[in-house]
């Protein structure tokens, strides 16, 4: 049997003998959704009392740095995992990187995928050279 542990809860993932898959539906907690939907500023609109990130986000154009033509792509294409299964997003401060990633995270969860978001500032990596 294989297990995974998330937030101090252990769940059975696969019972190898029976080849049954028992996957619990993954959802983002309401408190977390509220936090990542917060725009950080008070915005007003005549038809809605509280605007969220979902209300105002425009998918930014990105540049594929591995493409010699330096073509720009709309960041919404990152939702197509067949096209971009891995990517690194970097740019200037307050350019919308975190907002984009949080939005992608929510959309992936809606597709029953489990995205993992981490801030590279929190990584402690040691590189060994032979």
* Confidence at residue 114, expressed as pLDDT on a 0 to 100 scale: 81
Least Cα distance to 87 among 97, 95, 113, 96 occurs for 97
- Token pair 């005549």 is at which residue? 46
* Confidence at residue 20, expressed as pLDDT on a 0 to 100 scale: 54
| C-beta separation of 82 from 71 below 8 A | no
- Separation CA 113–CA 128 (nearest Å): 33
Q: How confident is the model at residue 129 (pLDDT cuts 50, 70, 90)?
A: low
* Confidence at residue 31, expressed as pLDDT on a 0 to 100 scale: 92
Q: Which two tokens stand for residue 16?
A: 């190898």
Q: How confident is the model at residue 69 (pLDDT cuts 50, 70, 90)?
A: confident
Bridge partners, residue 10, by sequence: 5
- At 8-67, the pLDDT tens digits run 555 545 444 555 555 567 788 899 899 989 988 888 889 988 899 999 999 999 887 776
Provide the 3-class DSSP secondary structure of residue 12.
strand
- At 91-105, the pLDDT tens digits run 888 888 889 988 999
Q: Which residues contact 129 (CB under 8 A, 6 or more apart)?
A: none
Q: How confident is the model at residue 1 (pLDDT cuts 50, 70, 90)?
A: very low
Least Cα distance to 90 among 121, 114, 56 occurs for 121
| C-beta separation of 13 from 21 below 8 A | yes
């Amino acid at each position: 049997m294989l297990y995974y542990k998330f937030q101090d809860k252990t769940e059975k993932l696969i019972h190898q003998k029976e080849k049954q898959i028992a996957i619990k539906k993954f959802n983002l907690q309401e408190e977390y959704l509220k936090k990542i939907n917060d725009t950080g500023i008070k915005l007003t609109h005549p038809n809605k009392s509280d605007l969220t990130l979902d209300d105002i986000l425009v998918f930014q154009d990105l540049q594929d740095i591995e493409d010699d033509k330096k073509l720009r792509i709309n960041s919404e294409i990152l939702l197509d995992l067949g096209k971009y299964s891995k990517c690194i997003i970097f740019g200037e401060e307050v350019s919308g990187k975190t907002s984009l990633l949080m939005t992608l995270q929510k959309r992936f969860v809606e597709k029953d995928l489990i995205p993992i978001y981490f801030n590279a500032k929190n990584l402690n990596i040691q590189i060994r050279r032979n």
